[in-house]
């Protein structure tokens, strides 16, 4: 591995997972990285490890810089296994190292890997002197797990916030000024939508807390993807907007269809919204990934969801979508529902109930059509699209 330096004595020693296409259900079309950082001073600290399948690669990267026996500290910012599952292997080689983690991190390490580790717990504001350098810790519960924390290298102004500000993007480049900026922000939005969206209010508060603690990072080095060194404020600003629920005049139409009736309705609704000058994204579920759908929802003001009725209920792909979407708790969207049925109906009713239970703002009534929509029905759908557009135009 050629050395990747963030500052003198601070190196990336992570790995690139080029072929990963599924991160616990989130489709990672561009692969992933698990970033780990080695800080060499009078004391040596390793910040995070990597997924266990890459333990030997991490070890090799470390060995190119230092004998692992010389590692004094292993900082475990987060115990989810994409970052910690190499810990047992690395700790065996770094036999003199003390593990540094939050209290809940310590508990989680023991619950995952047993109690055979020397662990020192830290809390917000605690510092660890490495020599010329100081590590300062900030607990960040639920970003992404209860155990999560950030590590800040005070003198170099490098923030290592683990999952926050990252994205799944396998790349031979490591820094934001070396990659396509559009791809980078697209992947950052996909990551935020699929991993962090339900935690929006916590993110806003955590960013405010970090500022109040006097942390003004010149570099943000997350545990996934690209290191922000040329413009870290870009990703902070994006997080502030996403976590505040900032949205534009955009409608996402997401639906499925059995014999084409719900598809015809969806197209007419889209035409109605477009006729009002509103941006529309049109996503048929069996032709789209859920990761893509929720990313489109991130900056949309309205979501229009359509399903045919199957056995008096919504179509199964819609159940899957609504389970995923309600769990992610997108903020401040107007939701509405439509669908077709043959005799008893039920899809629209069950979707509305699901959305209401999730606390979503639902525009009622939805629109339901029996069997195949005729011209009059399609005109109603067109008007439905216009009505939704009018609601989000203000
Ligand atoms: Fe990248 Fe929450 O793990």
Q: Give the pLDDT confidence of 56-85 residue by residue, as tens digits.
A: 999 999 999 999 999 999 999 999 999 999
pLDDT given for residue 65 in this prediction: 97
Mean pLDDT confidence for 36-55: 98
Task: Calculate the CA 365 to chain-centre distance.
Answer: 33
pTM of the model: 0.95
* Shortest-distance atom of ligand 1 to CA 34: 1
Cα dist. 231→226, 265, 337, 383 in Å? Answer: 12, 44, 41, 45
pLDDT at residue 310 is higher than 90:
yes
Any alpha helices (H) in 114-168, and if so which ranges? Answer: none
Write the pLDDT tens digit of every residue in 334-384: 999 999 999 989 999 999 999 999 999 999 999 999 999 999 999 999 999
CB-CB contact of 6 with 30 (8 Å): no
The tally of CA atoms less than 13 A away on the side-chain side of residue 129 is 2
> What residues are paired with 128 via a beta bridge?
135
Cβ of 168 closer than 6 Å to ligand 1, yes or no, is: no
Mean pLDDT confidence for 79-107: 98
In angstroms, rounded to a whole number, what is the distance separating the alpha carbons of residues 136 and 101?
Answer: 12
pLDDT given for residue 394 in this prediction: 77
Task: Calculate the CA 136 to chain-centre distance.
Answer: 25
pLDDT at residue 1 is higher than 70:
no
Any alpha helices (H) in 147-289, and if so which ranges? Answer: 181-191, 200-212, 232-243, 261-275
- CB under 8 Å to 221, separation ≥6 — which residues? 6, 12, 35, 37, 158, 159, 160, 227, 228
Mean pLDDT confidence for 41-64: 98
In angstroms, rounded to a whole number, what is the distance separating the alpha carbons of residues 30 and 173?
Answer: 13
> Looking at ligand 1, which residue's alpha carbon is closest to its atom 1?
163
The CA 112 to ligand 1 mean position distance, Å, reads 15
Cis status of the peptide bond prior to 365, with omega within 30 of 0: yes
Write the pLDDT tens digit of every residue in 170-197: 999 999 999 999 999 999 999 999 999 9
The two structure tokens encoding residue 346: 């039920």
Cβ of 147 closer than 6 Å to ligand 1, yes or no, is: no
pLDDT given for residue 2 in this prediction: 66
The CA 190 to ligand 1 mean position distance, Å, reads 14
Provide, rounded to the nearest whole percent, the portion of the chain with pLDDT above 70: 99
Cβ of 48 closer than 6 Å to ligand 1, yes or no, is: no
């Amino acid at each position: 591995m050629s050395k990747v330096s963030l500052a003198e004595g601070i190196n990336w020693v992570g790995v690139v997972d080029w072929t990963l296409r599924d991160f616990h259900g989130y489709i990672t079309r561009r692969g992933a990285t698990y970033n780990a950082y080695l800080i060499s001073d009078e004391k040596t600290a390793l910040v995070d490890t990597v997924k266990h399948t890459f333990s030997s690669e991490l070890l090799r990267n470390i060995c190119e810089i230092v004998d692992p026996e010389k590692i004094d500290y292993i900082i475990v910012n987060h115990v989810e296994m994409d970052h910690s599952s190499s810990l047992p292997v690395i700790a065996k080689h770094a036999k003199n190292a003390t593990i540094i983690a939050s209290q809940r991190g310590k508990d989680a390490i023991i619950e995952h890997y047993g109690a055979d580790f020397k662990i020192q717990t830290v809390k917000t504001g605690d510092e660890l002197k490495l020599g010329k350098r100081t590590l300062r810790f900030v607990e960040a519960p639920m970003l992404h797990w209860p155990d999560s924390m950030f590590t800040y290298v005070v003198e170099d102004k490098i923030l290592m916030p683990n999952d926050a500000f990252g994205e799944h993007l396998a790349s031979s480049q490591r820094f934001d000024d070396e990659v396509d900026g559009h791809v980078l922000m697209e992947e950052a939005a996909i990551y935020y939508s699929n991993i962090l969206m339900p935690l929006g209010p916590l993110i806003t508060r955590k960013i405010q807390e970090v500022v109040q603690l006097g942390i003004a990072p010149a570099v943000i080095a997350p545990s996934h993807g690209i290191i922000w060194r040329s413009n870290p404020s870009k990703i902070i600003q994006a997080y502030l907007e996403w976590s505040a629920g900032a949205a534009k005049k955009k409608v996402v139409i997401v639906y499925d269809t059995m014999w084409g009736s719900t598809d015809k309705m969806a197209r007419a609704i889209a035409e109605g919204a477009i006729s009002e000058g509103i941006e529309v994204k049109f996503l048929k579920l069996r032709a789209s990934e859920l990761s893509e759908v929720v990313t489109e929802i991130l900056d949309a003001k309205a979501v229009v969801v359509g399903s045919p009725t199957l056995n008096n209920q919504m179509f199964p792909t819609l159940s899957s979508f609504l389970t995923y979407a309600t769990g992610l708790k997108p903020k401040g969207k107007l939701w509405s529902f439509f669908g077709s049925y043959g005799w008893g109906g039920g899809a629209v009713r069950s979707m509305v109930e699901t959305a209401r239970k999730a606390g979503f703002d639902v525009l009622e009534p939805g629109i339901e059509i029996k069997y195949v929509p005729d011209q009059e029905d399609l005109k109603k759908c067109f008007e439905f699209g216009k009505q939704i557009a009018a609601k989000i135009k203000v």
